[in-house]
């Protein structure tokens, strides 16, 4: 099993290119199930989750071809993948596939919309909370679907097709908003979604669906209206930059110090996170298609944050920010409001010398003058990269085990850091 070894102490200087967003690419790929034409997606990242979803889509009959970069080429340029679901050969998404990645559950929306039935295993994914699927089920029921749970599978049917309706989410859910957008695009009549997620990835999916012939308005606001159409066509769409990767490298630059330009991204994708970094003492310069992060000699200042849906501070940057706060000049507070079990990285950061205390969903982080390298264990995708960030400043050597979590969401992380002067290497086996 691969590990990543980091020797801390080097400032980061250089340019880091940002890949296409995993959290946008996955629903965009699933949208290919809505049409028998070809959906072409540009800027698709090389990630384990993308490859897993390709296998899941293949189980339903989706063919794909890849053009663009190969692994040995420039990591700044993503792949172009052509997806064609000419014929849906199977409306069942089996446990052995869905259990490996939660987002694969989202196929229930387009399968139900196009084929009027779906049988999808209850999902898996990172162990960061229960994340129940009741929001998905209730939303699809509002569109006329009948849904039962049978033997660990969600069995859905819409005889005669889905029908437009109104649904208000009791809690903001990005995944459930994705599913409702896809399902309602082929429903008869008008659908209104209230308390919808406003994340950029939702807007990206809506833009792609509109290019395919959908009639969606209001994406990016809490109220989205969809006028159903009888069929969708193919389209060509570019996956937006990964805002979580952007924020991760911005935090890494603030942690290690130096001068890093994060290229191929937009500051508007994470305004609150960048403001928090400024409060923490980093110099942030927003350019048209890049962000420059500098910290040369100044202290890391303590900042209190609360995770919230977009445009708030992203839960997917909470672990990385906690790593930064371990070296602050005071005490900071981090409150997690999205997931109930997303502090598993605390014990591993403590192995490096961090001082963190937990009370329910609040972590108090007392900054220390030094961290010391040690073997640590990745517990989920974002927690794993927080350990890499801590390792960048830890004295001596830090080894992060179980880095398959990293490969799910970060494309060639060690190469991007090494290009800016970090001592990071992957150890196979």
Going by the annotation, the residues of the binding site are 22-23, 102, 171-174, 316, 338
Rounded to a whole number of angstroms, the distance between the first and last alpha carbons of the chain is 5
Which H or E element spans position 291? strand 290-295
Q: Are 333 and 361 in contact (CB under 8 A)?
A: no
Q: Where is the binding site for phosphoenolpyruvate, in residues? A: 22-23
Q: Are 411 and 22 in contact (CB under 8 A)?
A: no
Q: Are 372 and 395 in contact (CB under 8 A)?
A: yes
Q: Distances from the Cα of 34 to the Cαs of 24, 39, 168, 218, in angstroms?
A: 17, 10, 24, 21
Q: Are 44 and 81 in contact (CB under 8 A)?
A: yes
Dihedral in degrees, nearest 10, Cα atoms 325, 330, 331, 333: -50
Beta strand spans in 195-330 (E): 215-217, 224-227, 235-238, 258-263, 283-286, 290-295, 305-306
Indicate which residue of 126, 198, 208, 420 is catalytic. Answer: 126
The two structure tokens encoding residue 339: 């997931």
Q: Give Cβ neighbours of residue 63 (< 8 Å, ≥ 6 apart).
A: 83, 84, 85, 86
Which one-letter DSSP state was computed for residue 107? Answer: G
Beta strand spans in 367-403 (E): 375-377, 397-401
Give the separation between CA 244 and CA 19, rounded to whole angstroms: 10
126 is catalytic: yes
Q: Where is the binding site for UDP-N-acetyl-alpha-D-glucosamine, in residues? A: 102, 171-174, 316, 338
What are residue 142's phi and psi, to 5 degrees?
A: -65, -15
Q: Are 52 and 248 in contact (CB under 8 A)?
A: no
The two structure tokens encoding residue 184: 């309602």
Collapsing DSSP to helix, strand or coil, 77 comes out as coil
Which amino acids are annotated catalytic?
A: 126
């Amino acid at each position: 099993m691969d590990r990543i070894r980091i020797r801390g102490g080097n400032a980061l200087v250089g340019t880091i290119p940002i890949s296409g967003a995993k959290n946008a690419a996955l629903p965009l790929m699933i949208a290919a199930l809505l049409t028998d034409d070809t959906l072409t997606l540009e800027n698709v990242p090389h990630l384990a989750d993308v490859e897993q979803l390709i296998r899941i889509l293949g189980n339903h009959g989706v063919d794909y071809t890849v053009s663009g970069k190969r692994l040995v080429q420039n990591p700044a340029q993503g792949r172009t993948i052509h997806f064609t679901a000419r014929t849906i050969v199977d409306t069942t998404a089996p446990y052995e596939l869905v259990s490996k990645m939660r987002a694969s559950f989202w196929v229930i929306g387009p399968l139900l919309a196009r084929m009027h039935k779906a049988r999808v295993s209850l999902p898996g994914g990172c162990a960061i909370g229960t994340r129940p699927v009741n929001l998905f089920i209730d939303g699809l029921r509002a569109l006329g679907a009948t849904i039962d749970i049978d033997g660990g599978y969600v069995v859905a049917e819409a005889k005669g097709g889905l029908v437009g309706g109104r649904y208000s989410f009791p809690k903001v859910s990005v995944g459930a908003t994705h599913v409702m957008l896809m399902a309602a695009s082929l429903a008869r009549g008008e659908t209104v979604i209230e308390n919808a997620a406003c994340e950029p990835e939702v807007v990206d999916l809506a833009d792609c669906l509109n290019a395919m012939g959908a009639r969606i308005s209001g994406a990016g606001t809490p109220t989205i209206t969809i006028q159903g159409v009888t069929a969708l066509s193919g389209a060509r769409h570019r996956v937006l930059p990964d805002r979580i990767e952007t924020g991760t490298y911005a935090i890494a630059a603030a942690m290690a110090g130096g001068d890093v330009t994060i290229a191929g991204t937009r500051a508007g994708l994470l305004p609150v996170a960048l403001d928090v970094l400024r409060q923490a003492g980093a110099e942030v310069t927003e350019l048209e298609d890049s962000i420059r992060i500098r910290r040369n000699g100044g202290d890391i200042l303590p900042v209190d944050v609360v995770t919230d849906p977009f445009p708030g501070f992203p839960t997917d940057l909470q672990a990385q920010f906690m790593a930064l706060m371990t070296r602050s000049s005071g005490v900071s507070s981090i409150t997690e409001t999205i997931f109930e079990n997303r502090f598993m990285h605390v014990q591993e950061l403590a192995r490096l010398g961090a001082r963190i205390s937990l009370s329910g969903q609040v972590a108090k982080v007392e900054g220390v003058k030094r961290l010391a390298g040690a073997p640590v264990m990745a517990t989920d995708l974002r927690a794993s990269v927080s350990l890499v960030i801590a390792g960048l400043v830890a004295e001596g050597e830090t080894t992060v085990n179980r880095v398959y979590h990293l490969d799910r969401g970060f494309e060639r992380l060690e190469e991007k850091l090494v290009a800016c002067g970090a001592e990071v290497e992957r150890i196979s086996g």
